[in-house]
Chain A
Amino acid sequence: MPDVTLIIDGRTVTVPAGTNIVDAARTTEVAIPVFCYHPKLKPVGMCRMCLVEVWTPLIDQATRQPVLNPDGTPKLGLMMGKLQPGCVTPVAAGMVVKTVTDKVQFAQRGQLEFLLSSHPLDCPVCDKGGECPLQNLTMQFGPSTSRYDYQDKVHFEKPIPLGDTIYLDRERCILCSRCVRFQDDIAGDPVLGFDSRGRSWEIISKSDPPFDSKFSGNTTDICPVGALTSSDFRFKARVWEVRPVPVVCTHCPVGCNITLDMRHDRLMRVMPRENDFVNEIWNCDKGRFGMRHVDDATRLTTPLVRRGEQLVPASWDEALRVAAQGLMRVRSSAGATALAGMIGADASNEDFALFRHVMHGVLGTPHLDHRPGGPADVALETASARFGVSSGTNLLGLGTGTLVLLVGADPEEEAPLYVLRLRGIVARGGQLVTVNAHPTKLDGSAARVVRVAPGREAALIQAVVCGILDGGAPMSSRARGIDRLRTSLKGASAVQLAAAAGVEFEVVRALTDQLISAPNMIIMIGRTGLAQGSAVSDAVGALAAVTGAFGRPGSGVIALNPGGNARGAQDLGIVPGEGGLAAAQYWDAIARGELKAMLVAGLDPATLGAASASALDALDFLVVQDAFLSDTARRADVVLPCAMLPERDGTFTNAERRVQRSRQARQAPDGQRAHWQILQGIAAALGSDPGYSVSSDVTDAIAAQVPAYAGARYTSLGVTAGDWGRQANESVYYDGTSYTNTEGTGVQLPTGVERDGLPPVAAPLTPLTGGVPTGTLAVLVPRAYDGRDWARGSKLAPRMVPPHVIVGPADAGTLGIGVGEPVTLTSARGSVTLPAQIDRGLAAGTVLIVDVAGFAAADLCGGVITSVDVARGEA
C-alpha cells in the first residue's frame, strides 16, 4: 500500500495507508491513551479514550482543489467539527493530528470521570492493581476528584466465576469488549458475549462448561481493568512483588516464551513473554495454569534405593553409586546391548547430551529413545529437518499467498498456540486445508476440509503427489530424487490413491490445483500422522519436493512431535542407534530376556499397559529419574529426584527448530538435581566425568559437537529481535500485561539445505493403493488436558478429559448407544469398556479413543490406528 505522510503533534510521520491514527502516533513515540483498542484486535471505537483533534485540508467544493491560506499553505478544517476517535480513523495525506490540546485533555478527563463513575475503586484488593491501564491513565490523564457521589456507584455481586480459571468482577468492567473480540477473532472460541443494557450491561459466558476455551487466560492479560482476573493468581501477591523469570514452556512443541513470576521461591503466576516468532503475546491455559505441579507436596525429595521390597531414602552419593554399579554389573554380565535408556521429550538439550554420553558413550548401548514406548509413539521423521521450515520463517508474517496444510494433526490438542498462529494466517488472507480422519477445531477456519479414512492420510498426499507428477503441472522444484520418486509411484495412479484414501477424486484434483497455485506452503504433521510409521512424513516430504515448498522462509514442513523438546532429542541422538530398538520394542525385548537393565528419565511407561508394566517388573535393574513417585519409579531399584522447569537452566528446541533458553527461577526446594546433573553424577561414578559445572558448559559442548547447533550458544540465544511496537511510555499496559522479551528470542537452526547448500532429496514412496479398510477403526487421539503429572494442583483439574470413546451418530444409532453410555471395544490385544461421547462430524466406522491418564492405551491399541469391534457395553 502507498505510504501516507501526516503530522502528529508537530512531528512528520510516514505510515502505510490504512493505518489508524493511534498506530501512526506510536511510530513517532506519541502515546494516545486507549482502553478498547488493542493492536492485535480490530478497532471498534467503544471507549472514546483516544479522542484527538484531526485537521484535514479543506477542499473547495467547486474546484475540488485544496483551499489555500494567503501564505500558500493548505487551509485546514477540524474533521466533522469535533474530536475523532484515533483508533478508527485512518490516516490521510496532509492530516494534522493534535493530541495534547485543551479540548482533547478536557475530553480525556471527562471520559475517565465517566468510566470511574461506577468503578468501585477497590484497587488495594484488586489483582490488576499495579499493572492496570485504568489506574495508569487516570493518574496521567484523569481528574483528581469526581463529581459523582461515592454512594451512587453501581454494585454487583463480586466476583462471579466466568469459568474454572477466570473470575469476572462486573463492577470493575468498563465494557471495552477486548475479551469478547479476542475470543471471537483470535482464539476462535466465541464463548463470551454481552448481556442486558444500560447499567446492567455485562459480560457473560455462553458456553457449557462456562468459558470453554483453551486460551481464556489471555483475556486477563488484555483486560484493561481488573474485571477479568485468574483464579490461579487470585490474591497470591501484588504484581510489583513478583520477580519474573524468563523460561520456555515444555508442555508442547510450540515452546512458548513465558515468565514464571516468583515471590521469594514460590511460583505466583505464569505470564506470556512476547516473542513474535513463537507465541506473539499469548499463551495457552495449559501453560499458564498447568505449572502448579512444581509446588506439589508429593514431589520426591531425596534419592531412594531399593532394600528388599522397600525403597528407602539414601544420600545422593550412595544412590548415584548404586545406580552406576547396577548398570555396570548388567553390562559386564550381559553386555552393553542388555541396557536400554529412555528420556522424556520435555527434557532440555543439555539433558539429552549427558544422557547420550552416559548411555551411549560410556555404557555403549544402542537402545536409546525419547518416546514413551506406547501405541501412539511417533515414527522418526526427517522431513521437517530436510525441507524446513527454513530459518527466518515467522508465521506472524504470513498471510495472503500462504497455504497451510494440516495432515493428521489437531493443533488445539497437541500444540494449542498454533491454533492462534494458523488462524492469524487465515485472517491475513492465507488458506488452511485440513486432512484428518475426524473433525478438529481448526476445520472451522479451513478453506477446505478433507476427510480421509483413518490411517489414509499418506494415501491422500500420495494421490496429490501423483497428480502433480502425472498432470504435467508446472514443476520448478530444485529437489533431488524426483525421478526416483516418479519411478516409485509408477504402479499407482492418483485415482487409485484417492480411492484408497477414501476421498473422491474431484476433491483430490481440486486440492492439487490449490496446492500448486500457492506461492508459499507450510505443511504441518500432527501426532496422528507421525505415529503411522514414516508413510505420512515421507509423503509430505515428497509433496514439499514436487511443489518446491522448501528452501525459503514461509515454506516447509512443521512436525508436531509430542513433547516440549522432541526435536532436540532427535537432533542430539536420543534415537535408536545402529541395531538399536525403539522404545515400543523394549517391552517384548525384556520379555525375551534381551534387555536386563534400563534407565528411565522423566517418563512413566508403566502406565501404558500391562505389557510394559510387567516388563519393567522383570528387569534386573531399573534406574528412574522423575519428579514424582510414578508407577515406573515404584518398580525401580534406584529413584533419583529430578529438578523441574523452574529449578533448572537449559535450552529447548521447538517444532520450528528454534532453540530457546530457559532460566532457573529458584533453587530446587529439596536439592533435587536437573537430569543432566544426575546423569553427570552417574557418569562420574562410572569413571567418566565430563566435568561440566554449569548448564552453559553443556550448551557450549553441544554447539561445538553438533553442527546444526553451532549457532545456539547462550550469547546468541539472548539476542532480542525487537518487539512488535509498544508505545514509548510504559505502554505495556495498553497492549496487555504480557512481558516484554528482554532475554532473547532464540535462534532458528538452519535446515540441511541451508547448511550444505544442496537441495533436499525426496524419498521414494511405497504407493498405498490398498482398498479402504473395512470394519471399525479406532484412532487414538491426543488431548491437551490429559490429566497427567502437570495437572497436579492446577485450576484446570475439573477440565481434565476422562477416558472415553467418541463415536459417530451413525454408529451410535446402529448400536443404540447414547451419550455417556458404556461402549465395549475389543481388539486383538484386549477389550475395554468406556463411556461414549457422540461427535456429529464423525463418519461411520471410525471411533476415537482419547489418550489420557487413567486409560492404559497399550492394552487395547497396537498403534495409533487399531482395528476394533464396537459393541454396546454392560453398564
Chain B
Amino acid sequence: MLGAIFNGLRTTLGYLFRKPVTVEYPEVKRPVRERFRGRHQLKRFANGMERCIGCSLCAAACPSDAILVVPAANDPAQPNSPGERYAATYEINMLRCIFCGYCEDACPTNAIVLEHQYEISFYDRTSSIFTKELLLVAADRGHGEIPPVLAQLDRRPSPPAQIDL
C-alpha cells in the first residue's frame, strides 16, 4: 500500500532535482526560432527611405483582410520612398491578423517583415490597429536585410528591393 504511493511519487520526486523546462516569463523570455512570425515591422532602405511603396499587394494577399493601405504620390523634393508612390496610411489590425506571412511574401520591396516580437496585447479594440508610425522602424535601425524566408530559399528579392543589395 505505502509502497505503491512511494512508487507513484517517485517520478514527481525525481523532477524536484532536475532543471525546470519552464522559464519565469515575463522576467525571462524564451528565444524564438529564426523563421518565427511575430509582430510586423516596416523596414527602410540603408539611406533611411521607407521601403514601402504603397502598392497594396500585402493587403491583396492578406487572407483575413487585416491590412489597409492608402497610397499617395511622393513629393519629388522630399520623397518618403524611392519612386513616385508611398503609403500615406498603413494599418494592420492585429486582432484580425493570423500571422501567416503572406504579406511578407507578396511585398515586392521586402518592406514588411514579420519579426520576433510576440507580445501584442491591448486593452481595447481600437488599439489593436497598428498604424504606420508604430510599424515603421526608426530611421537608423532595421535596414533592408533579405527577409529570413527569402534568405532560406536562396531567392533574390525583386528589382526594386535590390537597391541596397
Q: Which A residues are closer than 8 A to B by beta carbons?
A: 121-122, 124-125, 129, 150, 158-159, 234-238, 240-241
Contacts and interface: CB of A to CB of B under 8 A. Distances in A.
B142 to A, nearest CB: 21
Nearest to B159: A150
Contacts of B55: 124-125, 129, 238
A299 to B, nearest CB: 22
A193 B72 CA distance: 30
Given A122-B160, A150-B159, A236-B71, 7 more contacts: A124-B57, A124-B109, A125-B55, A158-B83, A237-B56, A241-B56, A241-B60
A238 B160 contact: no
A159 B60 contact: no
A236 B160 CA distance: 21
B59 interface: yes
A235 B73 contact: yes
Given A238-B55, A238-B56, A241-B56, A125 B159 contact: no
B133 interface: no
Contacts of A236: 71
A841 B59 CA distance: 56
Nearest to B87: A235
Given A124-B108, A125-B84, A235 B71 contact: yes
Nearest to B70: A237
Given A238-B55, A238-B56, A241-B59, A121 B159 contact: yes
By secondary structure, the A interface counts as: loop
Contacts of A240: 60
A125 B60 contact: no
A235 B54 CA distance: 9
25 contacts: A122-B160, A124-B53, A124-B55, A124-B109, A125-B53, A125-B54, A125-B55, A125-B83, A125-B84, A125-B85, A158-B83, A158-B84, A159-B84, A234-B73, A235-B84, A236-B71, A237-B56, A237-B70, A237-B71, A238-B56, A238-B60, A240-B60, A241-B56, A241-B59, A241-B60
Nearest to B74: A235
The 5 closest A-B pairs by CB, nearest first: A124-B55, A125-B85, A235-B71, A238-B56, A124-B108
A236 B109 CA distance: 20
A235 B72 contact: yes
Contacts of A158: 83-84
A238 B85 CA distance: 12
Contacts of B70: 237
Nearest to A238: B56
Nearest to A150: B159
Contact of A122 (B54, B59, B72, B83): B83
Contacts of B83: 122, 125, 158
B69 to A, nearest CB: 8
Contacts of A129: 55
Contacts of B84: 125, 158-159, 235
Interface string B36-64: 00000000000000000111110110000
Residue with the highest number of chain B CB atoms closer than 10 Å, among A122, A234, A240: A122
B160 A124 contact: yes
A830 to B, nearest CB: 47
A241 B85 CA distance: 17
Contacts of A150: 159
A150 B158 CA distance: 11
A234 B108 CA distance: 20
A241 B58 CA distance: 12
Nearest to A153: B159
Nearest to B60: A240
A210 to B, nearest CB: 20
Contacts of B56: 237-238, 241
A238 B160 CA distance: 19
Nearest to A235: B71
Nearest to A130: B60
Contacts of A121: 159
Contacts of B73: 234-235
A158 B57 CA distance: 22
A235 B89 CA distance: 12
B159 to A, nearest CB: 6
A150 B160 CA distance: 11
Contacts of B72: 235
A535 to B, nearest CB: 54
Contacts of B71: 235-237
A217 B44 CA distance: 36
Contacts of B108: 124
A809 B163 CA distance: 60
A235 B85 contact: yes
A125 B109 CA distance: 11
Interface string B79-118: 0000111000000000000000000000011000000000
Interface in B133-165: 159-160
User: Considering residues A129, A234, A235, A241, which has the most beta carbons from chain B within 10 angstroms of its beta carbon?
Assistant: A235
A125 B72 CA distance: 10
A122 B60 CA distance: 17
A236 B56 CA distance: 11
A124 B108 CA distance: 7
A150 B163 CA distance: 12
A159 B57 CA distance: 22
A540 to B, nearest CB: 50
A158 B59 CA distance: 26
Nearest to A266: B70
Most buried by B among A121, A125, A235, A238: A125
Contacts of A241: 56, 59-60
Contacts of A124: 53, 55, 57, 108-109, 160
A121 B60 CA distance: 19
A169 to B, nearest CB: 9
Contacts of A238: 55-56, 60
B12 to A, nearest CB: 59
Nearest to B55: A124
A125 B83 CA distance: 8
Contacts of A159: 84
Contacts of A234: 73
A589 B83 CA distance: 63
A227 to B, nearest CB: 14
A265 to B, nearest CB: 14
B74 to A, nearest CB: 9
Contacts of A122: 83, 160
A238 B54 CA distance: 10
A122 B55 CA distance: 10
B87 to A, nearest CB: 10
B129 to A, nearest CB: 15
A121 B162 CA distance: 14
Contacts of A235: 54, 71-73, 84-85
A237 B109 CA distance: 19
A75 to B, nearest CB: 51
A240 B55 CA distance: 12
A129 B84 CA distance: 15
A16 to B, nearest CB: 43
A129 B85 CA distance: 14
A240 B60 CA distance: 8
A531 B108 CA distance: 59
A521 to B, nearest CB: 51
Contacts of B159: 121, 150
A124 B71 CA distance: 11
B47 to A, nearest CB: 18
A240 B61 CA distance: 12
A158 B79 CA distance: 14
A231 to B, nearest CB: 10
Nearest to B76: A158
A125 B159 CA distance: 13
B157 to A, nearest CB: 12
A129 B60 CA distance: 12
A506 B28 CA distance: 104
Nearest to A241: B56
A119 to B, nearest CB: 12
Contacts of B160: 122, 124
